[in-house]
Amino acid sequence: MRQGVFEVIVELALVYVRNVEVGSIMKIATFLVLLVIMAMPVQASTDCLECHGKNPPKGMSGAGSFDTGLFDSSVHSGLACNDCHNIDPTKKHKGELEVNCSSCHQQEQADLNKSPHAISDSLSQTTLPDCVTCHSGHNVLPVTDPKAPSYHLNSVKICVKCHEDRTITDRVEHMPQPEMIISYENSVHGRALAAGNNDAPACIDCHGGHTTMPSDDPDSPVYKTHIAATCGSCHEEIAREYAGSIHGKTLEEGVLESPTCTNCHGEHDILPSADPISSVYPLNIRQTCSECHASEVIVGKFGLKADRINTFKESFHGVALELEETRAANCASCHGVHNIYPQSDKRSLIHPDNIGSMCGSCHEDLPEDFAQGTFHKSSSDPESGGAFFVREFYWWFIGLIILAFVIYRVLEYKRRVKITE
């Protein structure tokens, strides 16, 4: 095969030489050089096929078989074997499997070398993923080809092959557990991707491809201060709203305790807000907000008002939510969702100028002085006004009734004892 291809190339060169004008020596020389260069990869590749083809010579049956059909349909079909394999075919090279992708893909290799996929104290180099793990070997296809393992809709399968394997995850400290990865498959993103929505995010959209870094690395796209921008690559308008909010501004200032997208919506297990087990389902929002607003550490560190969650529980809205009335107002109903601002900000839904319209979205025909009322006041606080006095009355009233009943039972008992005597 090798001789036949080479002879054809030489014959083409001779035909060209016979038909050019005398004196066109430079033209002839240039063309011959090009032909020789073109012949070199074919020469090298056909040399390899003598052993690695479909019909290896006697004694070479153990050599890895090379499928020319798969290779010819790949993106690398124009390359020779030694463009990727730094091997001298005249010498024994059994077991020499190293592939030099960086000779062409320098930046991708440099990025990979800095990621946990290339650096690990717990896994050997043979266990760590390499180029072939994600892109396959001789049959590398463009990422735009639906048959490619690295095609967007297929790429998750590459990641879960390792990240759902407990023999790997149990050996690597801080590596996400399989349950976390499996939860992605049931998330709104995972379901959309499985349904064929090519716009739905896969692993690489959030974590990066060759540049995957741990979430605690400041250069990672899923580092706390970068998450909103990462999510914003799809949710642009929401990201803009969040960036101007009290949460977005404080996070931008370096307050890492400030919530970002994943604090409220979850990470791999993001569900639609209409799903009853979603962290942003109306009945669950209070609990989601309480992760920060009822945290002694956060409340104490930043001087937040510690009674907000408990006073809401005491309110009509809080009680209605406890009874699973989804139409009742929750934290987001009054304070906003991604557009939460301080009360002093005129954009805030709870600014004095806006409270009437905010409450009016549920309650019709509100009196003009409605906004002058107090909110988030406990009935045990005298400043709550009538609620405090009603509560105090009932405490004393119920207490006196119980005391009177006890006295009555004691007197009744004595009377019956006396009768029996």
Hunting for tokens 């919530």 — which residue is that? 259
Residue 205 lies in a domain: no
Least Cα distance to 338 among 246, 252, 275, 418 occurs for 246
Least Cα distance to 281 among 339, 324, 234, 231 occurs for 324
**Start-to-end C-alpha separation, the chain:** 125
Looking at 303-372, list the stretches that DSSP marks H as alpha helix, in order from N- to C-terminal side.
308-314, 316-322, 331-335, 355-360
Distance CA 388, CA 374 (A): 12
Are the C-beta atoms of residues 155 and 148 closer than 8 Å to each other? no
Residue 117 corresponds to which tokens in the numbers above?
A: 């996929």
Least Cα distance to 331 among 350, 344, 346, 347 occurs for 350
**Tally of domains in the chain:** 3
Residue 414 and residue 307 share a domain = no
Residue 326 and residue 294 share a domain = yes
- Full-model pTM: 0.76
Residue 403 and residue 303 share a domain = no
Residue 420 and residue 326 share a domain = no
Q: How far is CA 396 from the centre of its chain?
A: 55
Residue 329 and residue 411 share a domain = no
CA 246-248-251 angle, to 5 degrees, is 105
**Domain ends where: 51, 76, 99?**
99
Residue 419 and residue 333 share a domain = no
Residue 288 lies in a domain: yes
User: What's the helix, strand, coil split of the chain in %, to 5?
Assistant: 50, 0, 50
Per-residue pLDDT of the chain (421 residues; tens, 9 = 90+): 334 444 545 555 555 555 655 556 665 665 555 555 554 544 456 678 777 877 777 766 556 777 888 888 999 988 888 888 888 777 887 777 778 898 899 999 999 988 888 887 666 666 788 898 899 888 999 999 999 999 999 999 999 998 999 988 888 877 888 888 889 999 999 999 999 999 999 999 999 999 899 899 999 999 999 999 999 999 999 999 999 999 999 999 999 999 999 999 999 999 999 999 999 999 999 999 999 999 999 999 999 988 899 889 988 899 999 999 999 999 999 999 999 999 999 999 999 889 888 888 888 887 877 766 677 777 777 776 777 788 788 889 999 999 999 999 999 888 888 887 6
Range of the domain at 418: 385-421
Residue 361 and residue 252 share a domain = yes
Hunting for tokens 């805030």 — which residue is that? 348
Distance CA 66, CA 226 (A): 44
**Domain ends where: 53, 80, 99?**
99
Residue 392 and residue 372 share a domain = no
Distance CA 368, CA 366 (A): 6
